[in-house]
Structure formats: C-alpha cells, structure tokens
Chains A and B, each alone.
Chain A
Amino acid sequence: MSFLHANEMRGGYGSGADILHGCTLTVQKGEIAVIVGPNGAGKSTAMKAVFGMLNLREGHVHLDGEDITGLTPQERVYKGMGFVPQTHNIFPTMTVRENLEMGAFIRNDDIEPTIQQVYELFPAVYEKRNQNAGELSGGQRQQVAVGRALMTQPKLLMLDEPTAGVSPIVMDELFDRIIEVAKTGISILMVEQNARQALEIADKGYVLVQGANAYTDTGANLLADPEVRRTFLGG
C-alpha cells in the first residue's frame, strides 16, 4: 500500500450535500502529488478530507498503513501530517521565529535542529527571522507557512494552493523549495490552480472533476495527454 492512501472518499461539510463523490488519492514516500481541476471540482475539499476537516460518509484514509479515518485534524498532526491552509496560515503579529516555534508546539524535544533545517531550506525565512510575519511579502509568508508546518517533522505535507496570489517568479521559487522539501523524504500532496507549472514538478497528478477522479497519471503524462491539455490546460 502507498504511504498515503485515501480510498473512495465521499462526503461534504457538516450536514450539507456531498462534494466528494468517490475520490481516491495516493502518495508514495518522497513523492510530489498534485491535485488539479476546474473551479468547484472539490480539490481543496479532497485535501481537507484527507486531513480530517470534514466527515466522510464513505471511504477510508490510511497513513503509513494505519487507518486514521476517525481521527481529528489535531490527532493527524501527531500521526505525521502537516497542513498549510491557503489563507490565514501564519501568526501575523508574531515573529517569524516564533511562528516556527508555535509550529512545533506539540513537540517536547529540542526543536533547534528543525529550526536550522527550515532556515537552510528557506534562506528568506532565516533572513526575516526576527520580523513580524504579518509584515512580510506574500511569497515570504508562504515560505513561513510551509516552514511552520515542517516544524512538526511531518511525513506528509499538504499544501492548499501555496502559490495563490504570488507573482510567477515567486511561484517558481516556491516550487523549487517544495522540490527541496520532497528530496528530504517528505511526501507532498498539493492543490494547485496553476495546473501546468504544478504538473511539471509533480510525480503524480490527479485531475478532479465534480468530486471524483477524472484522470490520474504521472505529471509528465498528464501534460502530454491531449485530452487533458484541451479540457483543463487551455490547449
């Protein structure tokens, strides 16, 4: 079984209508998986379902062979999941370093080595470590947000549209950082609006339509698939 295996998920928020209609996501160790698809396809919802933020009526989520379907998001953090929300993903009036410290709140061991790792991965974070996170630029904030999530030393890192609202240059930079993170052995599951660029770095791509898998393949194959290109990538 894959490292993350979310099988045939069905469900929606609260008692509302179902948004996911049988969505399956798998991620291998150290792999980058990207979820793309049209607006309203349930991309973010699928990721939130993996993280336990909505109730599944059907389907299971396994992490590293263990069934975590019934766990709360907080409990999943303890199990090795890290989550970076799309917005409101930093503590704005706290310094960058304090943001990292808060990311490691559940840890009782020495967090200093992890902070150093994050600093190495994200030189911009190191540079701004004593500044309030709310004063940083959009791209820097996203790096802080990812850094904060890395502080729990997760085995699976989930990113909800990390490049929303940043310039193309910053986007490339962020993707480079994400590849670096994956190289340290962390699996990455990411929702992306910028489908083309995201699929370029993806080991695996999921095209979601109306809450269900439409196409699943390697990023390169999806990019090469004329059907996917025509329908989702604008030619």
Chain B
Amino acid sequence: MDLLNALVAFANFVVVPATAYGAQLALGALGVTLIYGVLRFSNFAHGETMSFGAMVVVLVTTLFQSWGISLGPLPTALLALPFGILATAILLLTTDKVVYKFYRRVKAAPVMLVIVSTGVMFVMNGAVRMIIGTDDRRFADGERFLISARDFKTMTGLSEGLAIRTTQVITVVVAMITVAALFWFLNKTRTGKSMRAYSDNEDLALLSGINPERVVKITWLLVAALATIAGALYGLDKSYKPLIFQQLLLPVFAAAIVGGIGNPLGAIAGGFVIAFSEVTLTYAFKKVVTYLGPDSWAPDGLVQLLSTDYKFAVSFAILIIVLLFKPTGLFKGQSI
C-alpha cells in the first residue's frame, strides 16, 4: 500500500495531461459555441480553422528561430501567436464575406450553413496542406520541463516521478488568460453585451439598434483568436500535424454540446469533462493499482478500461448520453 506514489502516478499520467488537453478542447469548444450562438450553425470547418491558425504560428515561429529571436525558457511560438491570430482573422473575415454573408441575407436554414461549412473545410484543408505539407512538425523550444520526473523524485524521495512539461503549464496559463479576457469582454463591455444580446434574441437585438453585421464580424475575430490559440497550444503540447485537427472536431463538438451549445461557460466545463473522461478511461491503471494493493495483488493486465485507439468512442458515448438524457447540455444551452 503506497498511497502517495499511487497519487503521484495518477497525477502524472492522468491529471496533468488531461488538464492540458481539457484546456485545449475548452478553447476549441468556445469557438464552436460562439459561432453557434451568433451565427446559429455548427461549424464543421472549425477544426481546419484551428489547423490554419496553428500553421501560421508554426511558420512564423520557424522564421523567428531562423532570425535567432527567442523568449528564453518560453517557447518562441508565444511570440508568433499574434501573427497567427491576425492571419486567421483575415481568413475568417474574408470567408464570411465571400461565403457565409450571402446565406445570412437569404436567411438560409441552419443545415444549409452546416453544409456550406463543410465546403469551407475542404478548401481550408487543401490550402493548409498545400502551404505546409502533411509532415509532423515539432516547434516547441525553450525549457522542456518545469519539473522533470527525476527532479521530482530527488525532491520528494518518492519512487514515482511527476513530470510537468513547460508546454502543459503554458497551455493552462494561456487558456486561463484567454478565457478571462473573453468573459471580461462578453460580460463587461458594451460590444460584448451586444453580442450576447444578439445570441439571446436576434429580433429584439435588431429592434434595439444592434448592428448584426458588426456582431458577426466581432464573433469571427474572437473565433480567430480562440481557434488559433487552441490549435497552437495543441500543437505545442503534442506536435503540429495538419490531419490531426479533423479528428479533433468530434471531441470539440462533444465538449460544446455536453456543456450546452451556445453557452461559453458550458464549453469550458464540457472541454474538461471530455478530456478527463477520455484520459481516465484510456489510461492503464496497472501502476496505480499496484501501488494501492499489497504486492501479491499486482494485476496481470494493464487495468485499462478502453484501448487508446477508442478515445473517440469516449467523446461519442458522452455525447450520446447527453443527447439522450439532457439535450440542452449540463449548462443550459440553446436546445432547438
């Protein structure tokens, strides 16, 4: 029985990675939920938007690195982030003008906009691959660990190590700053409130003199920032690979719906619900169980509920359960 080591192992393999992943999903889901709230459709191009933003960050980071610019222990990518956001903002505003605006004018059904967004997804996907190719790219530099497993062991004298990577801490810190800024904007500024008003009741917002095109524009700007930050953080934490973002679409959607689509607070909660469920259910608990039980108890198998290959199944199962029992999500979102 070794409770402390078991806890450390659990923290190391479940809590820390799931927290970082949850923050990335939450930022992604916030983008989906904002688009849903204001433009009223599920944006299937959101994964590719994240990919595009992250791509620009990768390219600018490489450029800065070649110029010898760096942030010391912090990754250079943080410096490149504003450029990624800017490029994504231009992309999204252009897309809105060229593509989506027309469908707003003719008041197309939401499902039409969903299909249109899959066309946008195709274009963005092709564009990203044409610009950067399909290779895996690592672009994290600076200090690799905040606490390495070895330091932790010497510090605490435990046999189990707890490693916290710089990218994980940066993910959480940047996500917290982003979310705080977003909520300040939505709840305290006149423009942010007008966005919420438009999302709440479009007709009344029009009667109140709120300009819908301005609200839409600001929404895309926010989405550009959220998507780029989410994509770049995900890429920093793992690596940048264009094809991975398509697969992120399902957990991101699941997070938004689980939390209650259209509800920003719900998107954050949903992100962490999905991330923790995914990591916990696919983690092999052999080590933790071995620490907890007497020596003779050591299990033969991995004590893994689900193979990591089925992590999508976790998002999917949670999504289905929520749809069956609480279609409006954990926090009340827009249902119909």
Contacts and interface: CB of A to CB of B under 8 A. Distances in A.
Nearest to A51: B207
A92 B207 contact: no
Contact of A105 (B196, B200, B203, B210): B210
Contacts of A71: none
Nearest to A104: B208
A74 B204 CA distance: 11
Contacts of A106: 208-209
Contacts of A92: 200-201
Contacts of B200: 91-94
Name, among B196, B204, B207, B210, the residue most crowded by chain A CB atoms within 10 Å (CB to CB): B207
B203 A85 contact: yes
A89 B200 CA distance: 11
A77 B206 CA distance: 10
Contact of B196 (A73, A88, A89, A94): A94
Interface in B254-271: 263
Contact of B210 (A85, A93, A102): A102
Contacts of B203: 85, 88
Contacts of A93: 196, 200, 263
A73 B193 contact: no
A103 B263 CA distance: 22
B210 A90 contact: no
Given A90-B201, A91-B201, A92-B201, A102 B193 contact: yes
Interface in A65-105: 73-74, 77-78, 83, 85, 88-94, 98, 101-103, 105
B205 A102 contact: yes
Contact of A90 (B204, B206, B209): B204
Contacts of B209: 74, 77-78, 105-106, 152
Interface size, B (range): 10 to 19
Interface size, A (range): 20 to 34
A74 B201 contact: no
B79 interface: no
Contacts of B207: 73-74, 77, 83, 85
Contacts, number: 57
A204 to B, nearest CB: 25
B193 A103 contact: no
Contacts of B196: 91, 93-94, 98
A89 B208 CA distance: 11
Contacts of B208: 77, 102-103, 105-106, 148
B74 to A, nearest CB: 38
B194 interface: yes
Nearest to A82: B207
A73 to B, nearest CB: 6
Nearest to A98: B193
A156 B283 CA distance: 66
Interface in A95-123: 98, 101-103, 105-106
A85 B263 CA distance: 25
B206 A74 contact: yes
B114 interface: no
B164 interface: no
Contacts of B206: 73-74
B197 interface: yes
A85 B194 contact: no
Interface string B224-249: 00000000000000000000000000
A34 to B, nearest CB: 22
A83 B208 CA distance: 9
Interface in B174-219: 190, 193-194, 196-197, 200-201, 203-210
Nearest to A107: B209
Contacts of A85: 203-204, 207
Nearest to A77: B209
A83 B204 CA distance: 10
Contacts of A74: 206-207, 209
Contacts of B194: 102, 105
Contacts of B201: 88, 90-92
Contacts of B205: 91, 102
A150 to B, nearest CB: 12
A98 B208 CA distance: 12
22 contacts: A73-B206, A74-B206, A85-B203, A85-B204, A85-B207, A90-B201, A91-B196, A91-B204, A92-B201, A93-B200, A93-B263, A94-B193, A94-B197, A102-B194, A102-B197, A102-B208, A105-B208, A105-B210, A106-B208, A106-B209, A148-B204, A152-B209
Give the 3 A-B CB pairs with smallest separation, nearest first.
A106-B209, A91-B200, A102-B197
Interface of B: 190, 193-194, 196-197, 200-201, 203-210, 263
Given A77-B208, A102-B208, 12 more contacts: A73-B206, A73-B207, A74-B207, A78-B209, A88-B204, A91-B196, A93-B196, A93-B263, A94-B200, A102-B205, A105-B210, A148-B208
